[in-house]
Chain A
Amino acid sequence: MYEQIIIAGFGGQGVLFAGKILAYMGMDTGKELSWLPSYGPEMRGGTCNCSVIIADTQIGSPIIQRPDALIVMNKPSLEKFADSVRPGGVIVLDSSLIDSKVERDDVTVIYIPAMKIAEQAGAGTLGNMVMAGAYMKARDDMFKVDDLYKSVREHTPAKRAGLAEKNIELIKAGYEFKQC
């Protein structure tokens, strides 16, 4: 396994945090991993992305040239990264925030209204968790969603355990979402 994931969206959507929980899952399951954020003179509402690699072998470049998976939460990021995804790869797209379709037939695309699902659950800021759940479903053959739940619990401070459970609830919503 050498899974290269780019998570992209606007600053404030929890792009970096979504990457972080996947990274924790990688670490807790004994994999090699790297997590690289975009950084710069950025501001709230600007674009933001992070690159996460989870692998069985030593990780070379932490910069991802051709991602296996793209988790995308705004249109500018879709335009920026859609073509770079490897043939056979997966794109998880928040259809409540992006109104366009992916013009490729060599990748699996999951359209999920993540922000809407999060809002309906009373947690409008946790669309990132719904997206992570949908990604886990697409990668059912690679990762176990239970491992992700475990890592979320383990790396949330005890006094904020309620937040961990809310995150898990929304990951689950994304994981169980059925595309029609």
Chain B
Amino acid sequence: MHPTPLKVKQYIKQALHDDQLRAAVAKATATAVEKRQERANETPYWEQLRETAHACKKEVIDHLASYLEQFEKRCAGNGIVVHWAADAAEGREIIGRLARERGVKKIVKSKSLTTEEIGLNEALIGAGIETIETDLGEYIVQLEGKIPSHLTMPALHLSRRDVGRIFSEKLGVPYTDDPNELLGIARKNLREHFLTADMGITGVNFGLADAGSFCVIENEANAHLSLSLPPVHVAVMGIEKLIPSRKDLPVFLKLLAPSATGQRSSSYVNIIGGPSRTPFKEGPKEVHLVLLDNGRSRIVQDAVLRESLYCIRCGACLNTCPVYQQIGGHAYGWVYMGPIGSILIPQYLGEDEGRYPPFMCSLCVACRDNCPVQIDLPGHLLAMRNRVVEAGKSLPAEKAGMRLWAFFAARPLLYRFVTWFPGKLQLLLPGKTAFPAPGYMKERALGRFDSKGFRRRFYTHQKQGG
């Protein structure tokens, strides 16, 4: 069954009861946060990089139509066939048609959230084409029958024992939970697929508008093998992934790897500008680039929230988010998760289906401080919350609660009484117990009301010169 953000409450409960998941997420995110900080600390011009990256993305998104036309023209000049997909269905249709027309039987894919967004694998597999994820984490998750739980660490929710069990069940190999042996099994299987695939599909990290080429960044070499061994390479790129110039690419390269994995540099930075190796009798004979809108042009229409399109999918906001650290990625119910996911979900899926994720945030602003392109994530989350409320999508109990609060807030004397009274009433309770709150107290403790109350504390504080 497909996950949906409408069921986030159910997913959150499941996640909070899964101790192994929480331990795995906590370990992975803590390591990533620590390493990212080390990299930022050792780079004296880190903030300048962030500001410049922000300025580059602002320039592109504010003038996206012009940059797209320039990019398309230059790509076409380099022999890349450019396709435009207005939505997910059209994206699937284009790629399905390219495969069908070429009699493709097997496709190797490297990790791409954009293809997850359009449900490409299911469509291709449904059309009878063997479609194999080749990033180790994605391969594991595909065998498990789930979607990734992190932007850059897809199988973060699984332990080595889980992976051993999945390999044993799905691949029919003897059980082992040794990561080296597990990788060996995957490497052997996937190498064979790389060598025999008819098409390779990758995502795109950055499109270089002035050069008519695009960049695919990775650590495992699976993306390189996917884009260089099969005779056809199809890359799927969200229209927001452009940067103005190839000369701006180093700014982003210097930010992406440290923010994502804490590495100084990713192991492989591939730049593809067409079927360039054909004269050398090697590489794909055709390179296709699918430019995907799927709601992005609608987001650009919002002068404030368009900033969410600056995202370079590093996952730093997830790693540092206290909510994500507790519940992991599947709890968000879609392919994007964490703070950036909570903003993108309602924008892509609509404020009805995506009404819950913007509230999965404590507004601690750690995500904003860690974002390599300085997206004001908490500001956007607040804006999205307002929209959800304005669209009348908030919960009936929440609406009633706010109306009740507004009633008292507009009547200061009454407000003073109802905030003073519970503190006094609780003195009648035995010991230091709190008021009973059925349901709520099953999973957490309800604190005692402050016997002094906020107003009295505030005035005392002021008198003391605070």
Partners in one complex: no
By a beta-carbon cutoff of 8 Å, the part of chain B in contact with chain A is: none
Could you list which residues of chain A lie within 8 angstroms of chain B, going by C-beta atoms?
none
